[in-house]
């Protein structure tokens, strides 16, 4: 093995600190066409990004060269989402360019913060699943794991959220207008991707796909720096291009729009993440996107392997293909097609390689969220792949019959083809059948996974299923998001090494009652709360008191995450304050943020109700500073980086058994917030690591939830028995918060009283009690600070570095 750059601790750039500012200034002047001082912050941002990109490109070449030379096994992480956020502050920190950048900015009289804020978020993901993939890239780079992240280059990402009259409005997120400064196009990497057409047999009876249409996939790299190493990771994003850019004949006839039809059709593959799936065209586009991602990525992987090794016989020893949920599950039939039809392997040899390559992470237990595709649509777009899926299925079902004879009901249940109603292909089943490992993302989730949705498959292959609990990168979620607390940790933990060795946080535990450390942690929290208060004033025109308890729930708006339960407590508190204004209230600021899927009516109703309640509560003179309620629009990575360090209390209140892991919970605790939460997902392992007595746990367990449902749950009993709950629901139902339209929340209230699918009413009492315990704990400042320190100290194992090490050791079989 030749010398690899991993392990080299100091970057070359960091050592020539003195010369960098002038080099940067010159670069900025060159790019922005004038004196650096006059350049606009956006021009600064681009110029600094370009300087970083040049250094990163050099490191990428070194990394790739080292991996070629060592013949290392590589991980190929396929994901439809990478929620990257901004890149500049992270790159500056990783490259040791942060101080030079700040010096250069100061020298030119430009505010460094303004420059950083001009960078748009790369919001190429929806929530936790996409952010996990982004944290993984950071850890893959930092741990030096040879790898490729593969994704799509969404031109307009997710939507941007605006609030108009209390309602969510979606607008396109034109992030690439300024965000392309990081892109490294690879014009030499272009692969054809077919769609539609038919299957033909050649003379040798081999089956071959004849697509009706071909688009090209062009590679555009986005380089992710490692920390404390020159190694980098890469996110290779695919951009679709038409085979014929314009129809020359049509253009000459004067049909200019018609001439661009093929170009538009190809490029629409890259427009948005999550085309609205309420239409046939939207669903078809999504399937095309999924295929486009896997076909281009696998062709890229095979081309590299052949160039380096000359044979596909060693593919499974030198590569690993990981499916982040089932969205890239078409990798299974596409890999088989490429190996058998294009590269001439026999079926058995190809299948052996495929099974050696593929592994899959499940992210949800909700049956309605399991992806399936109608056979009819599959056949139209991917006729050869459908044949391959049928062949995989037939061999699989033979194996099931041989392994567990005499159980035809089982055979029907595990089949890759759903036969009830419209025939559909089950993507989770397809992923499981081809994978050497299938993992869940927290201990509870992995346990429930094999007991519920995948119980049949776990009977067939018990050894295939395992757990790898999620984690988050401490570089972004502590060092970058919370520099004030990071400075305290640098001081107390003998330097910055905790950034890449998070277990060092445990050294804080014996100091939890140290008055000096408590004061430092409290001061950092206070500064972060003031920063958030300033943002709230700027964005919403609402004044919030940094001395009040900041009670925060930020995440996608979804019924199972139970933002509505939080809101029921807010209303109960409001009513209690009005009834007894002179009681000893602990002042609270309740903060919400999150997007609702554009077609998800119930989630949008919750956003509206939050705004209606906020208007009433915030303007009621009887309430004053005792209670404030705010909703910050357009939740995303950058907003999370501002909000989370300012939280005293983290709301993780999903119905037990529904949140696979959660990662927001980890980010909050890492920043010294205490958690109020259910016994669900990673909350459980966090509480065990921190100490249950430093968590506010409430509500039914997953087991109890299952029991209650099995016995027949009647939410009305809780409504009738709990006077406080009844007053809250009656107020919403009466229109107390929507006086101009008393019926506005009729559907919401009706659904609560009739179904209450997520058992809000069953958990309401326990939740309100837990909130009272939070109040009592908060006024004992020293005890609260000790708990905050113990929460931070217990978070060592929730680093994504630990997560990636586990994937490397247990699933991918690569060193890390
Ligand atoms: C961490 C994160 C999430 C996931 O949050 P959960 O609370 O685990 O659902 C979603 N969106 C963004 C922007 C995040 O940073």
452: pLDDT confidence band, cut at 50, 70 and 90?
A: very high
> Which protein residue has the closest C-alpha to ligand 1 atom 15?
637
Ligand 1 binding pocket includes 227 (Cβ within 6 Å): no
User: What's the mean pLDDT in 592-615?
Assistant: 97
Residue 2 has pLDDT above 80, yes or no: no
Best of 86, 554, 592, 667 for a ligand 1 pocket test (most atoms within 8 Å of beta carbon): 554
Better-scored residue on pLDDT, 4 or 356: 356
Ligand 1 binding pocket includes 645 (Cβ within 6 Å): no
User: What's the mean pLDDT in 524-539?
Assistant: 98
Residues 629-650 pLDDT 10s: 999 999 999 999 999 999 999 9
Best of 129, 555, 654 for a ligand 1 pocket test (most atoms within 8 Å of beta carbon): 555
Instruction: Return the minimum-mean-pLDDT range out of 13-27, 175-189, 552-566.
Output: 13-27
Q: How far is the CA of 128 from the centre of ligand 1 (A)?
A: 5
In this prediction, residue 279 carries a pLDDT of 86
User: What's the mean pLDDT in 545-549?
Assistant: 98
Tokens of 214: 């071909």
Ligand 1 binding pocket includes 433 (Cβ within 6 Å): no
What is the distance between the alpha carbons of residues 256 and 30, in angstroms, rounded to a whole number? 38
23: pLDDT confidence band, cut at 50, 70 and 90?
A: confident
Return the closest-CA partner of residue 777 out of 247, 769, 127, 59. Answer: 769
Residues 377-386 pLDDT 10s: 999 999 999 9
Return the closest-CA partner of residue 135 out of 77, 181, 182. Answer: 77
715: pLDDT confidence band, cut at 50, 70 and 90?
A: very high
Q: How far is the CA of 668 from the centre of ligand 1 (A)?
A: 10
In percent, the amount of the chain with pLDDT more than 70 equals 98
In this prediction, residue 118 carries a pLDDT of 96
Residues 457-467 pLDDT 10s: 999 999 999 99
Best of 473, 663, 685 for a ligand 1 pocket test (most atoms within 8 Å of beta carbon): 663
User: What's the mean pLDDT in 578-593?
Assistant: 98
Residue 9 has pLDDT above 70, yes or no: no
Residue 455 has pLDDT above 50, yes or no: yes
In this prediction, residue 18 carries a pLDDT of 58
Residue 6 has pLDDT above 60, yes or no: no
Ligand 1 binding pocket includes 662 (Cβ within 6 Å): yes
Residues 384-436 pLDDT 10s: 999 999 999 999 999 999 999 999 999 999 999 999 899 999 999 999 999 99
Q: How far is the CA of 634 from the centre of ligand 1 (A)?
A: 13
189: pLDDT confidence band, cut at 50, 70 and 90?
A: very high
What is the distance between the alpha carbons of residues 602 and 654, in angstroms, rounded to a whole number? 16
Return the closest-CA partner of residue 665 out of 93, 132, 136, 227. Answer: 132
Q: How far is the CA of 126 from the centre of ligand 1 (A)?
A: 9
Residue 8 has pLDDT above 50, yes or no: no
Ligand 1 binding pocket includes 133 (Cβ within 6 Å): no
Ligand 1 binding pocket includes 554 (Cβ within 6 Å): no
What totals of helices (H) and strands (E) does the chain contain, helices first? 36, 24
Chain mean pLDDT for the chain:
95
Q: What is the 3-state secondary structure (H, E, C) of 76-131?
A: EEECCCEEEECCHHHHHHHCCCHHHHHHHHHHHCCCHHHHHHCCCCEEECCCHHHH
Residues 38-85 pLDDT 10s: 889 999 999 999 999 999 999 999 999 999 999 999 999 999 999 999
Report the nearest atom of ligand 1 relative to the CA of 635: 13
Ligand 1 binding pocket includes 131 (Cβ within 6 Å): yes
Residues 220-267 pLDDT 10s: 999 999 999 999 999 999 999 999 989 999 999 999 999 999 999 999
Ligand 1 binding pocket includes 636 (Cβ within 6 Å): yes
Q: How far is the CA of 414 from the centre of ligand 1 (A)?
A: 33
> Which protein residue has the closest C-alpha to ligand 1 atom 10?
127
Per-residue CA distances from 323 to 34, 370, 417, 434, 794 (Å): 48, 14, 20, 11, 30
Ligand 1 binding pocket includes 442 (Cβ within 6 Å): no
Pick one of 3.40.630.10, 3.40.50.360, 3.10.450.50, 3.40.50.2000 as the CATH number of 514-798: 3.40.50.2000
> Which protein residue has the closest C-alpha to ligand 1 atom 3?
128
16: pLDDT confidence band, cut at 50, 70 and 90?
A: very low
733 φ, ψ to 5°?
-65, -35
CATH superfamily of 71-86+121-470+804-812: Glycogen Phosphorylase B; (3.40.50.2000)
In this prediction, residue 15 carries a pLDDT of 43
> Which protein residue has the closest C-alpha to ligand 1 atom 9?
555
In this prediction, residue 396 carries a pLDDT of 98
User: What's the mean pLDDT in 793-810?
Assistant: 98
275: pLDDT confidence band, cut at 50, 70 and 90?
A: confident
User: What's the mean pLDDT in 102-130?
Assistant: 94
Q: Is 511 exposed, middle or buried (0-12, 13-18, 19+ CB in 10 A)?
A: middle
In this prediction, residue 367 carries a pLDDT of 87
In this prediction, residue 789 carries a pLDDT of 98
In this prediction, residue 259 carries a pLDDT of 95
In this prediction, residue 164 carries a pLDDT of 98
Q: Which residues are catalytic?
A: 363, 555-556, 561, 663, 667
In this prediction, residue 464 carries a pLDDT of 98
Q: What is the DSSP letter of 798?
A: G
User: What's the mean pLDDT in 477-481?
Assistant: 98
Instruction: Return the minimum-mean-pLDDT range out of 17-31, 424-438, 461-475, 704-718.
Output: 17-31
40 φ, ψ to 5°?
-70, 150
Ligand 1 binding pocket includes 637 (Cβ within 6 Å): yes
What residue segments make up the domains of the chain, in order of their start? 1-70+96-120, 71-86+121-470+804-812, 514-798
Q: What is the 3-state secondary structure (H, E, C) of 606-670?
A: HHHHHHHHHHHHHCCCCCHHHEEEEEECCCCHHHHHHHHHHCCEEEECCCCCCCCCCCHHHHHHH
Ligand 1 binding pocket includes 640 (Cβ within 6 Å): yes
């Amino acid at each position: 093995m030749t010398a690899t750059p991993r392990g080299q601790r100091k970057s070359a750039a960091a050592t020539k600190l003195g010369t960098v500012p002038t080099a940067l200034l010159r670069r900025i002047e060159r790019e922005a066409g004038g004196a650096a001082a006059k350049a606009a912050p956006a021009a600064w941002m681009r110029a600094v990004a370009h300087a970083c990109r040049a250094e990163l490109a050099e490191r990428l070449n070194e990394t790739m060269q080292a991996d070629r030379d060592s013949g290392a096994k590589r991980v190929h992480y396929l994901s439809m989402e990478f929620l990257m956020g901004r890149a500049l502050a992270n790159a500056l920190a990783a490259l040791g360019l942060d101080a030079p950048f700040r010096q250069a900015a100061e020298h030119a009289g430009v505010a460094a913060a303004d420059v950083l804020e001009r960078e748009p978020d790369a919001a190429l993901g929806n929530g936790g699943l996409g952010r996990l993939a982004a944290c993984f890239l950071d850890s893959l780079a930092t741990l030096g794991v040879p790898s490729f992240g593969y994704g799509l280059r969404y031109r307009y990402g997710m939507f941007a959220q605006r609030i108009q009259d209390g309602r969510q409005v979606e607008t396109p997120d034109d992030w690439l207008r300024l965000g392309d400064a990081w892109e490294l196009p690879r014009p030499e990497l272009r692969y054809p991707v077919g769609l539609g057409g038919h299957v033909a047999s050649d003379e040798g009876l081999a089956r071959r796909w004849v697509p009706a249409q071909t688009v090209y996939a062009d590679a555009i790299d986005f380089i992710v720096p490692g920390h404390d190493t020159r190694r980098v990771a890469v996110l290779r994003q695919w951009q679709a291009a038409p085979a014929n850019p314009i129809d020359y004949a049509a253009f000459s006839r004067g049909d200019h729009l018609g001439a661009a039809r093929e170009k538009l059709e190809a490029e629409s593959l890259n427009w948005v993440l999550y085309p609205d799936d309420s239409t046939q065209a939207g669903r078809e586009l999504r399937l095309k996107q999924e295929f486009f991602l896997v076909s281009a990525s696998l062709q890229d992987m095979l081309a590299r392997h052949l160039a380096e090794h000359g044979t596909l016989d060693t593919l499974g020893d030198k590569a690993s293909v990981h499916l982040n949920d089932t969205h890239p599950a078409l990798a299974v039939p596409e890999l088989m097609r490429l190996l058998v039809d294009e590269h001439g392997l026999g079926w058995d040899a190809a299948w052996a390689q495929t099974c050696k390559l593929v592994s899959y992470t499940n992210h949800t237990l909700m049956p309605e969220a399991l992806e399936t595709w109608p056979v009819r649509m599959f056949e139209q777009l991917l006729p050869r792949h459908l044949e391959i899926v049928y062949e995989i299925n037939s061999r699989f079902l033979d194996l099931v019959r041989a392994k567990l004879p005499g159980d035809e009901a089982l055979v029907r249940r595990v089949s890759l083809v759903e036969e009830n109603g419209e025939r559909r292909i089950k993507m989770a089943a397809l992923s499981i059948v081809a994978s050497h490992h299938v993992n869940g993302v927290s201990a509870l989730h992995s346990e429930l996974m094999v007991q519920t949705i995948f119980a049949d498959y776990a009977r067939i292959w018990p050894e295939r299923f395992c757990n790898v609990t999620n984690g988050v990168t401490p570089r972004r979620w502590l060092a970058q998001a919370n520099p004030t607390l990071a400075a305290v940790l640098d001081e107390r933990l003998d330097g910055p090494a905790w950034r890449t060795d998070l277990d060092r946080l445990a050294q804080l535990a014996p100091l939890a009652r140290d008055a000096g450390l408590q004061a430092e942690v409290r001061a950092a929290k206070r500064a972060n709360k003031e920063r958030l208060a300033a943002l709230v004033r700027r964005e919403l025109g609402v004044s919030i008191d940094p001395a009040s308890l900041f009670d925060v729930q930020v995440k996608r708006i979804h019924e199972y995450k139970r933002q509505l339960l939080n809101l029921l407590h807010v209303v109960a508190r409001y009513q209690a304050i009005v009834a007894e204004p002179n009681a000893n209230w602990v002042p609270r600021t309740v903060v919400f943020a999150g997007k609702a899927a554009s077609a998800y009516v119930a989630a949008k109703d919750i956003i509206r109700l939050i705004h209606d309640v906020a208007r009433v509560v915030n303007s009621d003179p009887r309430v004053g500073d005792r209670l404030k309620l705010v909703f910050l629009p357009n939740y995303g990575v950058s907003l999370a980086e501002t909000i989370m360090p300012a939280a005293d209390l983290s709301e993780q209140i999903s119905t037990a058994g529904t949140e696979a892991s959660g990662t927001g919970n980890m980010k909050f605790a890492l920043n010294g917030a205490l958690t109020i939460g259910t016994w669900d997902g990673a909350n459980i392992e966090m509480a065990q690591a921190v100490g249950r007595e430093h968590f506010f746990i409430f509500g039914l367990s997953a087991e109890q939830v299952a029991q209650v449902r099995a016995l027949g749950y009647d939410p009305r009993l809780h409504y009738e028995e709990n006077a406080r709950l009844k007053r809250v629901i009656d107020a919403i139902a009466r229109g107390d918060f929507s006086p101009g339209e008393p019926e506005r929340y009729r559907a919401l209230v009706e659904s609560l009283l009739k179904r209450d699918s997520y058992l809000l009413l069953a958990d309401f009492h326990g939740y309100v009690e837990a909130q009272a315990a939070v109040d009592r704990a908060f006024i004992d400042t020293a005890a609260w600070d000790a708990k905050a320190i113990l929460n931070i100290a217990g978070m060592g194992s929730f680093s994504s570095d630990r997560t990636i090490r586990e994937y490397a050791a247990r699933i991918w079989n690569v060193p890390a």
